[in-house]
Structure 1
Amino acid sequence: MRYNVLACDYDGTLARHGRVGDETVTWLERLSRAGVKLLLVTGRELDDLLAVFPRPGLFDLIVAENGALLYDPAQHTCDPLCAPPPPELAERLRAEGVTPLGVGQVMIATREPYDHQVLQAIHELGLELQVIYNKGAVMVLPSGVNKASGLAAGLDRLELSRHGVVAVGDAENDHTFLTAAECGAAVANALPALKNACDLRLAGEAGAGVSELAGMMLSGELDGVDVPRHHVLAGFGEGGEEVRLPPYGVGVMVAGPSGSGKSTVVTALLERLIGDDYQCVVVDPEGDYAEYPHAAVLGDHDRVPGVEEVLHVLAQPAESVVVNLIGLQLRDRPAYFAELLPRLTGLRARLGHPHWLVVDEAHHLMPAELRDVPLQSAADVGALAMITVHPDAVSPGAARLVTHAIAVGKDLERTLGGFAQACGR
């Protein structure tokens, strides 16, 4: 499953007229039983939400007040994620007769047309605050606080990555968290601007749309939905056009003779992936990435990193890792990799990351005499890149995972011929 987190807006998305339907609850329960983490991300004040929604325990975490509060239903703990506006603002608005006027732990809320008075008060008091709209509602929050920042705080608490998140909403204040997610979906009753900006338009309205999305997650249909905005630049074609790869489900073989620039190609790809918060694991038999600055390098000439050590670091989704095997005898490296690989797939099944596995010297770690590898597809590790001088010397089981080939060096025809031989194509 590509997505292991569902983040839902409440009003107009999960709920209609403040109430969540029984069928929608049933779908959420199915997702939870399947191991999907559920986050509710709402503009409501927490007490207001709990008064109308009797099942907060369905969710692993609730982000309330449009990103300002993080509530744990299991522990009954509530943590403000920022400081509130000064009390003078609410006092002034109250004195001016602004109504309704809600004052939460952080957020101040009213409705249009009082936004003009709110903006004037913020200006005259010399405050750095933002006004966010939500289908007539007007919310005042500290700058930079929104549903995306609240979602990020929740994911950090759960040690999960935004690249495993599908988010669904309907209104103006949902733009940021739909964009922050790997896939942003809009229910059928969403504002046209949100539908135009999202990755996936659902046929159902409100809770029916959420149920539809849950069904797509459980069936695997959502895994196949292409999200072009996340495609990563791999290089340029003969005509100078960009060549981009999906960040999920691809198997890339980078092949060419020694000194041809394979490491340059892979390093550029890694920098783009890690720069966009994808977690990468580089298995490095020869120490070629020992000085790589954008990942934790484990192991050296004198020490082989333990598998548990690697997994411990990877538990943090923001930390990419280079597994340096230069200290391990050549004959022992395939066995080490054979032990590491199923542990990586297990970690991904549990946490949704890492996102990319990069195997340098793939013909050493997965040699031709190894007929098969314990992967059904590259998606089992998120995405896979294999670098080799000899594509025809790579395990047939690994070669069958290849969806894209990048040939580097002068004799491209010969290199691609070796790739074709390895893949039986």
Structure 2
Amino acid sequence: MAITRILIANRGEIALRVHRAAQEMGIETVAVHSTADADAMHVRLADQAVCIGPPSATDSYLNMAAIISAAEITGADAIHPGYGFLSENAKFAEIVEAHDIAWIGPKPEHIRTMGDKVEAKRTAGALGLPLVPGSDGAVETAEEALQLAEEIGYPVLVKAASGGGGRGMKVVQNADELPSLMSQAKSEAKSAFGDSTVYIEKYLGNPRHIEFQVFGDGNGNAIHLGERDCSLQRRHQKVLEEAPSPVISDADRDRMGRTCADAMAELGYRGAGTIEFLWENGEFYFIEMNTRLQVEHPVTEAITGLDLVREQIRIAAGEPLSVTQDEVRFTGHAIECRINAEDPRSFAPSPGQVTSYHAAGGMHVRVDSGLYAGYRIPPFYDSMIAKLIVYGRTREGCIMRLKRALGEMVIEGVKTTIPLHETLIRQDDFQTGDYTIKWLEEWMEQREE
């Protein structure tokens, strides 16, 4: 089918990113927005715009009926969900397709499977992906948990089957702690996600977070586009990402990438997906799969030269993958800094009016942002306001270019995390690539002492 008009069911930089890809393909766009986002850049640039509710995301960007109505009123024949909000909501994907609107995303059944961490782990194992030792499914009782923990060895991790972001997650060091911490995890999971289901797995002491970008055509063909290193995290939220990882060899990249691609081919996966692993001592362990576009997708675009959003749209229109695995080439190095409207030390949100804005520029420097001078950052949504992506022929060259680009970036009127990134990339451990998922928080604690 030919897609002629895409409704973008999101906001901020990702909505602008989808708009740009669509425009370059000759496809019209429809922006939906809350009253708080009436002056947003993607709303100004889209061919049509529809207000779908008040500032609260529940009443606007998560309002399925309002979004479907907007699609029908404007004659949109496809919906792109971006990331966050409804992007991994299988029910919404089913509703979209039931209205004969193309869903620019994976099949609803795959969204549902991978959205349940217990089912995702079971499916990943069946597809041949390496798993962290742990429970085969949900763990119901403390007695069951104690027996399992004894078998796999402490420390163990109790994790919520639904959701993420560190909620419903507890590290257990010994048997005495397990009953109470498991109860806390179940309570947090119920409160945050409406589902108290938890499972248990081996706790890896100091791993890296490595993820592989995959694409499938829905008909049994799939490829991988290499890995991204997302180990620099604060409270389980990514701060900086790079591709390729400084610690993954070409041989391991090829081996794990093909394992991921083969798994997606067997699953019949459609569209973009990211398979996330913990990596420690040369071994990969599956943790979850995100059935959507990732925030950090630009670093993959930089080293492959492929437009991932364009590829999503092509596949949703029923076209085949634009490249074969043998045609994918990895060249150079890319780093992305997430820039948030936050105090760079306390991380308190800093919404407000942007009084001055200047995007960094120059060769191989990309800024994904909907900011402009005079724009008022609303307090109702995620605090990420820009992404700075820099490419270089080598990692060292990329870091030097990133230092220069961060120094050029001007966002005044609100506090941002630019100073944090400027300090972070000058640290010896970052320069050498010697960091894990614990490194950033430990470094930040040392700075405060």
Same fold by TM-score greater than 0.5: no
Bigger proportion of residues as strand: 2
Normalising to structure 1: TM-score of the pair?
A: 0.27
Rg larger for: 1
Normalising to structure 2: TM-score of the pair?
A: 0.26
